[in-house]
Structure 1
Amino acid sequence: MFPASILTVVAVVVALAPLPSAARDAVGPESTSVNRAISRDRLHRHVQVLAGDIGERNAWRPQSLRRAEEYIRSVWTEQGHNVAAHAYTINNETWTNLEIVFPGTGLASQIVLVGAHYDSVQGGPGANDNATGVAAVLELGRCLAGHKPRRTIKLVAFVNEEPPNFWTRDMGSDVYARAARARDDDIRAMLSIETIGYYSDTPGSQHYPPFLGWFYPDRANFIAFISNLSSRALLRRAVTAFRGASDFPLESLAAPAFVPGVGWSDQLSFWFAGYPAIMVTDTALYRYPWYHTAQDTPDKIDYDRFTAVTQGLCGAISALADADEL
């Protein structure tokens, strides 16, 4: 990393994190339209099915990836949703993004999109990365049921985030984002739910890219909201919305995409398409010892804190969809 790049990162961190206490105090109450409790047991069940029963699921294990697809479809269908399948082809293999929609009322053309990738890295069952993200998005479908948002809310399960498709045009999220841009969809907010299940109160359990540790806690007991520089306005609104819905510890960062970790998920595809997007994450490899290994198993997840984060996300997403401005 060049010195100028370091200075850019430091300047961004100083400007954005943490949000001042006044911003926390000014947050309004959680939307009263969403009051369904997130079930710890259901989150645990989703992670167990995806990472325990199905296990490794990716381009090298296409049958397992399709089992995961069918499981996601079945859960959302059981919740009463119509599940749209957006298929595309790579080398004669067909892959599918899955989507459910909560139509907006007053601002229906504006979209709040929440997504998580359902594949896992080669050689890993992918409990934290990213069965936790998928489980959260599945249960958001239940939590938001019956809510009539002002803006349209879309929940999407993306395929093919991991290698060999990572950072290519074959990522499921990239295919989706390019199609959305071609339709001129008005996506006002995209939240990528990426690896959100591991927490620790041990001093020194949280690590960072160079220099960021000067500004952030050394205990891995928080959830992080991360954006590129052009998505800073969305980041601030999302932080405010989450803090209005939950007292779970939250840290935020806006930084250039070249900072290691900032662009490591599906939000990158939406940045490339010109949409504002953030990543919601426990910071993955910066705290999780079993990241991208065969030991990324369901028993490693802190289900109590994972549940609390998902509950906060439900309230935050509702607040973003109903906000006067976005």
Structure 2
Amino acid sequence: MLKINLLSRPALRRLTMLAIILSAIVGWVWFAMIRMPGISYRGQLPSLNQQELKLQKALRQDVQKLVSELQEHNFSSYNNLVAAANFLESSFTNAGYKVKRQQYQFANRKYDNIEVEIPGTKIPDEIVVIGAHYDSVQDSPGANDNGTGAAAVLELARAFAGKKTDRTLRFVEFVNEEPPFFQTPDMGSLVYAKRSQKAGEKIVAMLSLETMGYYSDKAGTQKYPFPLNLVYPSSGNFIAFIGNIKSGDLVRKAIASFRRHVEFPSEGAALPAQIPGVGWSDQWSFWQQGYPGIMVTDTAPYRYPYYHTAQDTPDKIDFEKLARVVAGLESVIADLAILEIDEPVEQTRAEF
């Protein structure tokens, strides 16, 4: 018996060393997924400038229109959904865009993704998509989910109207993200991404703006799925940039740009898509077609107590903070649309 134990010691040492190496690899991979460039802003927020004050007012008006006037707008409230699409189309048109409707049918009804485009001047075949779904979940007016995202896309399109970018910019309002369409072939963004792939389009970045308007400085207001709760803050006062592993470079470029331009708390991660919440919006559809995509969000059910309820109303939204985030995203989009995707994010963007 003693002989067997002596002979097993080298094997035990090898197993111990292997366990140490594997633990180090796992730790390094985990660190690589959550380590982001730059530093999240901490401290008192500065006063809004005049542009941000105008943006705050416009975002409030857009959300009020989508929610207070249209109330629930989805497949079960079809007329309201059509009215929401018409409002978005007319708003894009008034901003000077030519609107394209990507229409498809489900259960003998027509549904529309709504798209406007700024063709790139130098590399027009490379496309940056900024999108959000404009439908609400059943039995909810959807002020935060996703009136904030839909309004943000609209205001960002207005901000870029008449400007020129190296890459092509597309602003898209997607239909039918919520159940029963969620992660099915009839999800609006999946219909869109499939058609883009079939057409051979080169989408180099997709930003999904999802549930972006609820913030709190109180400890314990932010929740996470394990093990994210071990490393991220407990106060829900930040905007999150979330992608899958393959979209890690895009996550890092986007949050680095945001942190350079905006004094507002931000967190980011490139995580396995299997972690609950990572794929819970329209970026998931682009992943299915091999495109890089990230979600910009207040983390929705992990923070927002009125998520998917009848109480998801405009009075719950912090429009001041939402305006700060959207203003920051304008700079992020400018960086992505002007700089080469594989260039270092530290480079200064060109002026329009």
Q: Deviations over 1:111-163 (max 9, x none)?
A: 00000000000000000000000000000111112220000000000000001
Q: Note closer, same or farther for the CA distance 1:305–1:24 as it changes in structure 2 (3 Å cut).
A: closer
Shift of 1:12: 5.1
Aligned partner (choices 8, 13, 17) of residue 34 of structure 2: 17
Q: Note closer, same or farther for the CA distance 1:207–1:198 as it changes in structure 2 (3 Å cut).
A: same
Shift of 1:253: 1.1
- Say whether 1:207 aligns with 2:223: yes
Unaligned runs of 5+ in 1: 1-6, 26-34
| Residue 247 (structure 2) aligns with | 231
Counterpart-to-counterpart distance in 1, 2:26 and 2:212: 24
Counterpart-to-counterpart distance in 2, 1:8 and 1:207: 27
Counterpart-to-counterpart distance in 2, 1:310 and 1:208: 24
1:275-314, aligned counterparts within 5 Å? 275-314=291-330
Q: Give the aligned residue type for 1:220.
A: G
Q: Give the aligned residue type for 1:65.
A: L
Q: Deviations over 1:185-243 (max 9, x none)?
A: 00000000000000000111111001211110111110000000111111111112222
Runs of 4+ in 1 over 4 A off after TM superposition: 7-13, 35-38
Q: Is the 8 A contact 1:116 1:133 kept in 2?
A: yes
| Residue 42 (structure 1) aligns with | 58
Q: Is the 8 A contact 1:116 1:157 kept in 2?
A: yes
Counterpart-to-counterpart distance in 1, 2:37 and 2:165: 29
Q: How large is the Cα RMSD of the aligned pairs? A: 2.0
SS in 1 for 2:75: coil
Counterpart-to-counterpart distance in 1, 2:66 and 2:82: 11
Q: Is the 8 A contact 2:286 2:292 kept in 1?
A: yes
Q: Give the aligned residue type for 1:272.
A: Q
TM-score, normalised relative to structure 2: 0.85
Q: Give the aligned residue type for 2:317.
A: I
Q: Is the 8 A contact 1:18 1:251 kept in 2?
A: no
Q: Note closer, same or farther for the CA distance 1:8–1:262 as it changes in structure 2 (3 Å cut).
A: farther
- Say whether 1:177 aligns with 2:193: yes
- Say whether 1:195 aligns with 2:235: no
Shift of 1:325: 3.0
TM-score, normalised relative to structure 1: 0.91
Point out the more displaced range, 194-203 or 231-240.
231-240
SS in 2 for 1:61: helix
Count the aligned residue pairs. Answer: 310
Q: Give the aligned residue type for 1:320.
A: L
Counterpart-to-counterpart distance in 2, 1:84 and 1:243: 33
SS in 1 for 2:263: coil
Shift of 1:13: 4.5
- Say whether 1:59 aligns with 2:67: no
Q: Give the aligned residue type for 2:97.
A: H
| Residue 17 (structure 2) aligns with | none
1:77-226, aligned counterparts within 5 Å? 77-226=93-242
Unaligned runs of 5+ in 2: 1-23, 42-49, 343-352
Q: Is the 8 A contact 2:243 2:271 kept in 1?
A: yes
| Residue 323 (structure 1) aligns with | 339
Q: Note closer, same or farther for the CA distance 1:131–1:300 as it changes in structure 2 (3 Å cut).
A: same
Q: Note closer, same or farther for the CA distance 1:162–1:185 as it changes in structure 2 (3 Å cut).
A: same
Point out the more displaced range, 161-170 or 241-250.
241-250
Q: Give the aligned residue type for 1:76.
A: F
Q: Give the aligned residue type for 2:168.
A: T
Counterpart-to-counterpart distance in 2, 1:296 and 1:8: 43
Counterpart-to-counterpart distance in 2, 1:188 and 1:17: 22
Q: Is the 8 A contact 1:116 1:156 kept in 2?
A: yes
Q: Is the 8 A contact 2:36 2:269 kept in 1?
A: no
Shift of 1:18: 4.3
Shift of 1:92: 1.1
Q: For the pair shown, which has the larger CA radius of gyration, 1 or 2?
A: 2
Shift of 1:91: 1.7
- Say whether 1:255 aligns with 2:271: yes
Q: Is the 8 A contact 1:13 1:254 kept in 2?
A: no
